[in-house]
């Protein structure tokens, strides 16, 4: 079955039509910058532009960068605070006339990796970390998702959230090298390992393509590997949500 998968992030909205059984992208991936401020009406307009780009008429699966419970945003992550309480599936459905299924972006990326990618057939605790505008986390136990585990928003030292210290956005904002940033990211991974004793950690998000630049950060006494689908895991998993 083919589904339009959309991965909404703090800086980009990425989409493609996906074969949900094989995980293959049927089309080129298309990217639209997240509108400045990322307010609900503006993001909904870009989601409609994405649907139009693919001339899509079927169901849509969407990864969204906040806590999502039954299609509703329960936090605002790195987007506009006015998202809290918004029924995201209804907002996008009303704007496009199509049926939408929504999940947290890291949970969606994790789903693609656990079903078809780097975490396939791995039992025990598997955690996918997305490195991007924030630090997202998807936690799986014996292949089953524990939804909305938010490891990036836990505080660290003077930082209100770990992601303000160790996300890719933090690296860019502070203009630090991968070497220095890698030390920060390692602190985050150490915290994840201490808290969950995972059997495997998978790295996704934009920075998963650059993993060679921060290899030392990944030596945390637990296997840490890149996502099979790299940054496309979010699109593939988003499409998979629609058929779960
Ligand atoms: C949000 C998470 C999200 C992550 C990555 C964080 O700010 O709280 O829900 O998964 O950013 O987008």
Q: What long-range pairs does 49-52 form, CB within 8 A, spacing at least 24?
A: 50/4, 50/6, 50/13, 50/15, 51/4, 51/96, 51/98
CA-nearest residue for atom 6, ligand 1, is: 77
Binned at pLDDT 50, 70 and 90, residue 92 comes out as very high
CA-nearest residue for atom 1, ligand 1, is: 77
- Residue 97 has a pLDDT of 98
Atom of ligand 1 nearest to the CA of 67: 9
Tell me whether domains 2-107+233-241 and 121-227 share a fold.
Answer: yes
Question: What pTM does this model have?
Answer: 0.98
* Angle at alpha carbon of residue 200, lines to 73 and 195, rounded to 5°: 65
For 158-200, write each residue's pLDDT tens digit: 999 999 999 999 999 999 999 999 999 999 999 999 999 999 9
Is the distance from the beta carbon of residue 130 to the nearest atom of ligand 1 less than 6 Å?
yes
Domain 121-227 is found in CATH 3.40.50.720: no
Is the distance from the beta carbon of residue 5 to the nearest atom of ligand 1 less than 6 Å?
no
Domain positions in the chain: 2-107+233-241, 121-227
pLDDT > 70 in the chain, percent = 100
Is the distance from the beta carbon of residue 78 to the nearest atom of ligand 1 less than 6 Å?
yes
**Architecture of the domain delimited by 2-107+233-241:** 2-Layer Sandwich (3.30)
pLDDT beyond 90 at 244: no
For 125-135, write each residue's pLDDT tens digit: 999 999 999 99
Binned at pLDDT 50, 70 and 90, residue 203 comes out as very high
pLDDT beyond 90 at 206: no
Mean pLDDT for 205-217 is 91
Pocket test for ligand 1, best of 66, 102, 146 (most atoms within 8 A of CB): 66
Pairing of strands 60-64, 30-33: unpaired
Mean pLDDT for 14-26 is 98
């Amino acid at each position: 079955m083919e589904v339009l998968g959309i991965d909404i992030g703090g800086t980009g909205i990425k989409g493609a039509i996906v074969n949900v059984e094989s995980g293959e992208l049927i089309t080129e991936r298309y990217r639209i910058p997240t509108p400045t401020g990322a307010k609900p009406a503006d993001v909904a307009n870009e989601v409609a532009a994405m649907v139009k780009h693919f001339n899509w008429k079927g169901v849509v699966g969407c990864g969204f960068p906040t806590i999502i419970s039954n299609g509703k945003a329960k936090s605002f992550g790195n987007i506009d605070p006015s998202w809290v309480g918004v029924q995201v599936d209804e907002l996008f459905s009303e704007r496009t006339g199509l049926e939408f299924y929504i999940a947290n972006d890291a949970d969606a990326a994790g789903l693609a990796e656990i079903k078809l990618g780097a975490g396939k057939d791995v039992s025990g605790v598997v955690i996918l970390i997305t490195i991007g505008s924030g630090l997202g986390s998807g936690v799986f136990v014996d292949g089953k998702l524990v939804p909305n585990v938010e490891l990036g928003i836990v505080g660290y030292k003077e930082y209100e959230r770990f992601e303000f210290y160790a996300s890719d956005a933090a690296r860019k904002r502070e203009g630090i090298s991968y070497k220095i940033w890698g030390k920060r990211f390692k602190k985050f991974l150490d915290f994840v390992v201490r808290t969950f004793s995972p059997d495997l950690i998978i790295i996704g998000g934009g920075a998963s393509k650059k993993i060679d630049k921060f290899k030392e950060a990944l030596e945390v006494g637990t296997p840490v590997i890149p996502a099979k689908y790299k940054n496309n895991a979010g699109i593939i998993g988003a499409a998979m949500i629609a058929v779960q």
